[in-house]
Amino acid sequence: MSFQKKLFTSSAAVLSLAFINGCSEKPQNTLENHMDEAAIITAEPDTIHPALWPEGKSGVVRDAAIEARIVVLLSEMTIEQKVGQLVQADIGSVTPDDIKKYRLGSILNGGSSGPYGDDRAAPSEWVRLADEFWEASMSEGVGTPIPIMWGIDAVHGHSNVVGATIFPHNIGLGAANDPALIERIGAATAKEVAATGIDWTFAPTLAVVRDDRWGRTYESYSEDPKIVKAYAGAMVRGIQGKPGSKEFLDGNHVIATAKHFLADGGTKGGKDQGDAIISELELRDIHAQGYLSAIDAGAQTAMASFSSWRGQKMHGNRALLNDVLFGRLGFDGLVVGDWNGHGKLDGCVNDDCPAAFKAGVDIYMAPDSWKGIYETALAAVKSGDISGARLDEGVARILRVKLQAGLFEKGKPSTRPLAGHAEIMGSDAHRAIAREAVRESLVLLKNN
pLDDT of residue 2: 40
∠349-255-364 over CA atoms, to 5°? 10
Determine the Cα–Cα distance for residues 61 and 277; give it in Å rounded to an integer: 36
288 near 320, Cβ under 8 Å? no
Interval 291-320 mean pLDDT: 98
CA terminus-to-terminus distance, the chain: 16
Which residues have CB under 8 Å from 357's CB, separation 6+? 86, 342, 364, 377, 380, 386, 390, 394
Between CA 444 and CA 4 the distance in angstroms is: 21
What is the average per-residue pLDDT within 219-239? 98
Of the candidates 287, 275, 367, the one whose C-alpha atom is nearest the C-alpha of residue 312 is: 275
Q: Determine the Cα–Cα distance for residues 404 and 250; give it in Å rounded to an integer.
A: 10
pLDDT at 7 over 90: no
Q: Evaluate if residue 47 carries a pLDDT over 80.
A: yes
pLDDT at 10 over 50: no
Mean pLDDT over 204-223 rounds to 96
Maximum mean pLDDT: which of 27-31, 137-141, 371-375: 371-375
pLDDT at residue 291, rounded to an integer: 98
Instruction: Say which residue, 270 or 33, is predicted with more confidence.
Output: 270
pLDDT in tens, 393-437: 999 999 999 999 999 999 999 999 999 999 999 999 999 999 999
* 3-class SS letters over the chain: CCHHHHHCCCCHHHHHHHHHHHCCCCCCCCCCCCCCHHHHHHHCCCCCCHHHCCCCCCCCCCCHHHHHHHHHHHHHCCHHHHHHHCEEEECCCCCHHHHHHHCCCEEEECCCCCHHHCCCCCHHHHHHHHHHHHHHHCCCCCCCCCCCEEEECCCCECCCCCCCCECCCHHHHHHHCCHHHHHHHHHHHHHHHHHCCCCEECCCECCECCCCCCCCHHHCCECCHHHHHHHHHHHHHHHHCCCCCCCCCCCCCCECEEEEECCHHHCHHHCCCCEECCCHHHHHHHHCHHHHHHHHCCCCEEEECCCEECCEEHHHCHHHHHHHCCCCCCCCCEEECCCCHHHHCCCCECCECHHHHHHCCCEEECCCCHHHHHHHHHHHHHHCCCCHHHHHHHHHHHHHHHHHCCHHHHCCHHHCCCCCCHHHCCCHHHHHHHHHHHHHHCCCCCCC
Task: Count CA atoms closer than 13 A to 109's CA, side-chain side.
Answer: 27
CA distances from 415 to 142, 195, 207, 294, 428 (A): 25, 11, 36, 30, 24
Confidence of residue 4 (pLDDT cuts 50, 70, 90): very low
Secondary structure in 3-state letters for 381-396: HHHCCCCHHHHHHHHH
Answer yes or no: is pLDDT of 27 > 80: no
Report the percent of the chain where pLDDT is more than 90. 88
Per-residue pLDDT of 89-130, as tens digits, reads: 999 999 999 999 999 999 999 988 999 999 999 999 999 999
Q: How confident is the model at residue 448 (pLDDT cuts 50, 70, 90)?
A: confident
The predicted structure's pLDDT at residue 24: 41
Share the mean pLDDT of the chain. Answer: 92
- Looking at residue 123, what is its pLDDT? 94
In one letter, which amino acid is 87? V
Digit-coded pLDDT (tens) for 123-165:
999 999 999 999 999 998 777 899 999 999 999 999 999 999 9
Q: Is the predicted pLDDT of residue 31 greater than 60, yes or no?
A: no
Confidence label for 35 from pLDDT (cuts 50, 70 and 90): low
29 pLDDT above the threshold of 80: no
- Mean pLDDT value across residues 71-100: 97
Contact indicator for 416, 197 with CB cutoff of 8 Å: yes
pLDDT band at 86; cut points 50, 70, 90: very high
pLDDT of residue 14: 25
